Structure 1
Amino acid sequence: MWYTSTPVVRHYRLLSQGLTLLALVLAVASLTVLDTRVASLPANQTTLALALIVAIGQWRWTRKGVFTSALVLWPLCLCLVTLLFGTCAPEDWLSLERLSEPFRWLTTPSTLLDWRPPLVELVVLTLLTLGILARTRSSLGVPLLHMSCLLLLLLDQTPLHHWLPSAALLHAHSLTVTAVLGLLLAGQWVGVVSGWRPTRDSLRRGLWPSTLLVVMTLALWQYLEIQADGELQYLGQREGRAMEERLASEFNDFRHSLQHLQVFLEQSPLPPSTERWQHLTRPLRDHFPYLATLRYVEVTGGNVRSPATTVVPRSTDMPQPAAVLPPEAPITTLAIDAPAPTMKITLSLPIRRPGGKLLGHLAATLSLSAMAENMYTHPPSGAGSLQVRLTYHNRLIKEWPMEGHPAPWTVSVPLDAIPLHRPDNKAATVDTAYLPLELTLRPDTRLLTRLRSRLPAVTLMLGLLFSQFLYLTLFSQHQMASQHRALARSNGDLRREVRTRHRLQQQLSWLADHDELTGLPNRRHLQATAQTWRARLPLSVILVDIDHFKRINDCLGHAEGDRVLKAVGRLAQETLGDDGLLGRYGGEEFLVIIPEGRLAEASAVAERLRRAVRQAPLAHHDGTPLTISLGVACQDQAPLDLARLIQQADQALYTAKHQGRDRVELFVDTVDGASDLDTPPFTA
């Protein structure tokens, strides 16, 4: 073909070199001067540096420097595989945090977690490296490696990816990094596509099914990413609710203490003096460090005056309390119009006489940032940290900074901790209004790595690995089939075919006389053997049926039923020994043929079988032991009528079933000879 001619192949090679060189230049430029935003991100710096090494190895490969390319790429491949293993494996197996300890002095952020490339880019770099090391051979799965890289890059940049809830968890996407990886992929593919023509049929046979498996893997991976994002959202919401409970508990403790002071003032005959007021409010000042001012506002003749005021000297910016509210609002919390970091809230309680007369108000001003001080405590060092921000209408009130590098993931939780209008001593309802506070949690990379499930990454890696195995299997099968058809004309293949047919014939012969599940002789073998024993009279048969076998299949499944059949067959064979021939007659029925065995001897053998199964560790779904019912029949006069003898044993088995199961019954012939043989079948 025209595209396999020497000039065209040379043009392909030149185009591959040009694309590789362009990727190399773009990577160097992004790391140095062109894209400072990309180069400022540690993960993107690592990705571009690794892509630069891949570009150097690929450039040497396009220049036929195979040894130099392998010398560059084999250490890189080991490094990439180690990073992938660290991404998928539990933290205890391979801790990148511990591996980064010797490098803390180099730069910040100081852990390898901050410098590790995102999963998609790490997988693409690994696949590109493996493609070059495999000499771009289609027989080693390089076409599927290229297809997987293309799908991952498309998924990494498609708008659909940004619509997914888990998009923020992956990384800050960079078009420059994707362009570098895409140029490397295009350069590698252009350089080898013409060499795949001799194996195009095998390539198509293996590529499309395995590509479908890759697409399914990516879909499952994204689904698991969404699930992992939901789990992280749940953990963030739970941590936020715990902080909300601590803040609400702190506020309620102060409110209850203030209510105790309210009750005392209502029972006092006179307003407190200044000295008395200082004595009464000292416990509040000591136990609640966020108390800014505490004021008793007296109402006399419709006028408002403040005979007692406590100003807690903890801040130079002490706002005056809000205007005293009307009596119909027993307890009210309001936000003071102040800068967010120093925002105060005022709590006002009415002071009434027992008759209902309003004497005044008890007003307390609280520092919200100081009250929220104990909402969050940093975890132990080395476990990761959270950046916690408490805001009021997007104005910062309190912030707890993190120790490590921030991760690209946040969760916001509205706090319903401080009610604005809540009747005293009543539970909050859906109509209760709360101070509009919002809590924003952002973990560092160390904590996010510890909390995030490894299942999506493991699923992606296993799916890509299985798809590669599928491609290699289908490709190899097609290649082997082609070679087999080419060599089928030779005499050596003919002899091997004859030997193969002989082995298959032996297997088929064995399968024709034996039950595949239990390995016991089947009905055909039993009947043939009984005919050879027609002269060895008396001949006894024992028909064995497992009691309530249908319950096992219905309650435990057919797989458990098959296991029970095999166990009963094996146990019966061990118990019977050389006393007769045991075989599977059909379904859950077994047949024992005893030549030269009288009825009493056959009955003893049947009893041994029954006891052996009864004592075996086999049980139904409800724990009742597994039992069998046995019917015994014997013929001592010629000629042998095997069908009638088995029918007599079946009649005895029917009797055993209807008399309670787990028993041995002997066939007793009637006066008419066989008038009871047409009894309806029993139910197992």
Structure 2
Amino acid sequence: MRASPLPACLMTGMALALTALVGGLHVIGGTGPVYAVSERVLIGMVALAQLMMLAGWRQSARVVLSMALIPLTVTLLSYILPEYWVSLAAWDRWSRRLTQGLELDAWRPSLLLALSLTLLATACATRARIQLGGPLLMGITVLLLLSQLRFGVASTSTPHVLRYAAGPLEQLALWGLLGGQILAALPGWKARATIVHRALWPSLILVLLALLLWHQQKNFTERELNAQVRSEAQRLADRLTSEINEHQAAMSRFANVWSLFDQVPSQEAWSRQAALYHDDFRYFLNIAFIDRDSHIVHVHPQSNVNRGVIGTRLFDAQPAGRDAVRQALLEQQVGRTDVIELLQGVPGIIHYLPIPRDATHTLGAVAMVVSLPILAETLFNEVDTRRTALVLAEGEQVLASQVPTTPLGPWRFDTLLDVAGQPLRLGVQPDRASLLERHDRYPIASLSIGIALAYLLYLVLYAYGSLARQHRTLHASNAELHREIRTRTELQQEIEWLARHDELTQLPNRRLFLETLKAKGEARPLSILICDIDHFKRINDHYGHLVGDRYLNQLGELGRGVTEAHGGLFARYGGEEFVAYLPETTADQAFLIAETIRLRVKDADLHHHDGSVLTVSIGTVTLVTGPLELDALMQAADDALYRAKAQGRNRVMAAPELATSLS
């Protein structure tokens, strides 16, 4: 990114002005979600940093970019890390502490915007240098912005759980930022256009494949999650429908009991028999006996509300259920009302079952009153209503509902309930947090890995192209003189390197190890490890020295990886012996590091000719205080190694801690 070309400044300024204008309008109007505000703030910060970079204020620009990259990194990690690594509840707890009560999803920018803005911020921080992948970063941003554009125009019957794309104005601002960076960087790219093309297009193809794979995985995981939640809602409805069918069969049995009598039952007998059914089906508001003139004679349970309806003549008091009562009393048929307002003032359905005395006369009828609010409460108890909204409705009329305080997700599932022939609609809508917790992170992780691999591919291809170009340039110049200089220089470097490194394993050799130990021997505590491959002679005897060299190489890589991770130096001491220098490492820490090396070698799938696993024995020693005495320190470690071998090999033995004297 070169110094302040006017078109680049204009496009970047346009992006900054656009975000400031839109953000200001939303602040003045008091509208817009928090995540949209955070998106505009982040875009504005990157745009401001880009203008600073174009103006030559590089240090200030990097400070602003660092401030923008922190929330962007948190956002990307929250999208990528699996739920079992860091749960959404944990993210929300951290977010509420840092944002004064806001949950993560309330302010988190959309996925593709966060990726695009991170790439733009990285390109700005590196000044879009070719060797640092500037062209690829901007090419990936183009693909991500096109993907966002597709989300904006594509129609879908199922809305997405995650926010993938930003709004059109935010996308326009991102295009402005991208255009400004490209205009500023193009002059520096032209000189190496050939190398850029050879490195850029294969990497972009890899990114495109990663995007296509991500899109396919995303659609699959969301369809699968949608089907799971829909299936759960259907199972809930099926279970309730099954229970309702059971209560219809129970009502028929209850009515048949009274057909054996030729007189009106007493209140005591009625309550005794009705209690058995009411205990099983709690959503019965009451079970009543209706005489031939539609008077309510008995009712169970004997609550204050139910006692108030005794003596009521249904033909007069409840016109909406008159036909159902007539069917039971006069036609000896089961009568059933629609959803009506009950005498108790709540919506419900009444079943009237005739109690025949003979072929033409009835003793009365059984009225079983189903309270829809109680029925809904029975249903709602099966679901965590703190995480799921439930609505029971007849057509457009809501009979009962329970809505959590948390934001609801985009998916609502409506299923039909057959409540004794009356169709009711059950609406189930999980909240957004429960869907996010169950949403698979693998598609986003695969997209991130694809972008990272494409970036590494670009660096490799660019490095290869640069080396090839340099080679051609040097070859075209004074070949003989430059070849001689280069040969001597390389030879000198190689000699210096070989003097301090092992040619086979590329590790520091004994000389460099001892020089390092003397130069940095002031650290206390100071630990030394000596590692020896168990029965290494068998490898050379049975497999040959090539396999032995390969085993030495692998052990060297394993030991170096573990040792350098703890700030130490891993070197080849000679033959199959390796040593490690660990400054400021206690005896316990040194033992654990040695044990890690031993376990990794054991798990490295290296075997002897008889199939036994290749192992190492390790001796450790720690100098706690006093001056460095190399001979004593190395002898103590070697003694510990000898004890490890004497006790059966494949183990770590620690020498007693040393404290040398100044005298």
Q: Secondary structure at the match of 1:170?
A: coil
Distance 1:454 1:89 in 2: 7
Distance 2:205 2:348 in 1: 61
Q: 2:445 aligns with which of 455, 458, 472?
A: 458
Distance 1:184 1:575 in 2: 60
- Give the 3 Å change call, closer, same or farther, for CA 322–476 of structure 1 in structure 2: farther
Q: Secondary structure at the match of 1:453?
A: coil
**1:415 is matched by which residue type in structure 2?**
L
In the TM superposition, 1:86-235 aligns within 5 A as 86-95=78-87, 97-98=89-90, 100-101=92-93, 104=96, 110-158=102-150, 162-164=154-156, 167-171=159-163, 173-235=166-228
Q: 1:373 aligns with which of 349, 373, 377?
A: 377
Pick which of 483-492 and 112-121 moved more: 483-492
Following TM superposition, by how much is the alpha carbon of 1:287 offset from its aligned partner in structure 2, in angstroms?
5.8
Match of 1:349 in 2: 353
Following TM superposition, by how much is the alpha carbon of 1:41 offset from its aligned partner in structure 2, in angstroms?
0.8
Q: Deviations over 1:274-324 (max 9, x none)?
A: 56445543455566553335344455xxxx644635386559999664523
Match of 2:470 in 1: 483
Match of 2:323 in 1: 323
2:9/2:51 contact within 8 Å kept:
yes
- Determine if the alignment matches structure 1 residue 396 to structure 2 residue 398: yes
Q: 1:439 aligns with which of 427, 431, 446?
A: 427
Following TM superposition, by how much is the alpha carbon of 1:135 offset from its aligned partner in structure 2, in angstroms?
0.8
Match of 1:546 in 2: none
Q: Secondary structure at the match of 1:126?
A: helix
Q: Secondary structure at the match of 1:31?
A: helix
1:297/1:360 contact within 8 Å kept:
yes
Distance 1:38 1:239 in 2: 38
Distance 2:160 2:72 in 1: 24
Following TM superposition, by how much is the alpha carbon of 1:68 offset from its aligned partner in structure 2, in angstroms?
0.7
Distance 2:179 2:348 in 1: 62
Match of 2:339 in 1: 336
2:214/2:443 contact within 8 Å kept:
yes
- Determine if the alignment matches structure 1 residue 448 to structure 2 residue 449: no
Distance 1:379 1:51 in 2: 41
Distance 1:412 1:101 in 2: 30
Q: 1:77 aligns with which of 69, 74, 92?
A: 69
Distance 1:298 1:374 in 2: 31
2:237/2:426 contact within 8 Å kept:
no
**2:388 is matched by which residue type in structure 1?**
L
Q: TM-score, structure 1 length as denominator?
A: 0.61
- Determine if the alignment matches structure 1 residue 263 to structure 2 residue 256: yes
**1:471 is matched by which residue type in structure 2?**
Y
Distance 1:366 1:36 in 2: 52
1:290/1:371 contact within 8 Å kept:
yes
Q: Secondary structure at the match of 1:163?
A: coil
- Give the 3 Å change call, closer, same or farther, for CA 483–290 of structure 1 in structure 2: same
- Give the 3 Å change call, closer, same or farther, for CA 249–73 of structure 1 in structure 2: same
- Determine if the alignment matches structure 1 residue 387 to structure 2 residue 408: no
- Give the 3 Å change call, closer, same or farther, for CA 329–87 of structure 1 in structure 2: farther
- Give the 3 Å change call, closer, same or farther, for CA 454–98 of structure 1 in structure 2: same
Distance 1:132 1:156 in 2: 21
Distance 2:294 2:93 in 1: 65
Q: Secondary structure at the match of 1:485?
A: helix
Q: Secondary structure at the match of 1:406?
A: coil
- Give the 3 Å change call, closer, same or farther, for CA 96–436 of structure 1 in structure 2: closer
- Give the 3 Å change call, closer, same or farther, for CA 19–247 of structure 1 in structure 2: same
In the TM superposition, 1:530-549 aligns within 5 A as none
Q: Secondary structure at the match of 2:203?
A: helix
- Give the 3 Å change call, closer, same or farther, for CA 388–153 of structure 1 in structure 2: farther
**1:126 is matched by which residue type in structure 2?**
T
Distance 2:216 2:60 in 1: 41
Q: Secondary structure at the match of 1:117?
A: coil
Match of 1:542 in 2: none
Q: Secondary structure at the match of 1:271?
A: coil
1:38/1:45 contact within 8 Å kept:
no
Distance 1:155 1:37 in 2: 30
Match of 1:32 in 2: 24
- Runs (5+) with no aligned partner, structure 1: 421-433, 501-569, 577-614, 619-684
Distance 1:143 1:38 in 2: 39
Following TM superposition, by how much is the alpha carbon of 1:249 offset from its aligned partner in structure 2, in angstroms?
5.0
Distance 1:395 1:108 in 2: 39
Distance 2:295 2:221 in 1: 58
Following TM superposition, by how much is the alpha carbon of 1:234 offset from its aligned partner in structure 2, in angstroms?
2.2
Distance 1:228 1:245 in 2: 25
Following TM superposition, by how much is the alpha carbon of 1:209 offset from its aligned partner in structure 2, in angstroms?
2.1
Q: 2:299 aligns with which of 302, 307, 310?
A: 310
- Determine if the alignment matches structure 1 residue 470 to structure 2 residue 471: no
Q: Secondary structure at the match of 1:465?
A: helix
- Runs (5+) with no aligned partner, structure 2: 310-316, 491-537, 545-608, 613-663
**1:373 is matched by which residue type in structure 2?**
E
Match of 1:53 in 2: 45
Following TM superposition, by how much is the alpha carbon of 1:129 offset from its aligned partner in structure 2, in angstroms?
0.6
Distance 2:335 2:194 in 1: 80
Distance 1:211 1:477 in 2: 17
Distance 2:322 2:214 in 1: 56
**2:355 is matched by which residue type in structure 1?**
I
Q: Secondary structure at the match of 1:168?
A: coil
**2:297 is matched by which residue type in structure 1?**
A
Following TM superposition, by how much is the alpha carbon of 1:365 offset from its aligned partner in structure 2, in angstroms?
2.3
Distance 2:97 2:453 in 1: 41
Identity, in percent, stands at 22
Following TM superposition, by how much is the alpha carbon of 1:57 offset from its aligned partner in structure 2, in angstroms?
0.8
Q: Secondary structure at the match of 2:377?
A: helix
Following TM superposition, by how much is the alpha carbon of 1:456 offset from its aligned partner in structure 2, in angstroms?
1.4
Bigger Rg, which one: 1
- Give the 3 Å change call, closer, same or farther, for CA 617–191 of structure 1 in structure 2: closer
Following TM superposition, by how much is the alpha carbon of 1:118 offset from its aligned partner in structure 2, in angstroms?
1.5
Q: TM-score, structure 2 length as denominator?
A: 0.63
Q: Deviations over 1:410-436 (max 9, x none)?
A: 13141345341xxxxxxxxxxxxx624
Following TM superposition, by how much is the alpha carbon of 1:220 offset from its aligned partner in structure 2, in angstroms?
1.4
Following TM superposition, by how much is the alpha carbon of 1:484 offset from its aligned partner in structure 2, in angstroms?
1.7
Match of 1:590 in 2: none
1:245/1:417 contact within 8 Å kept:
no
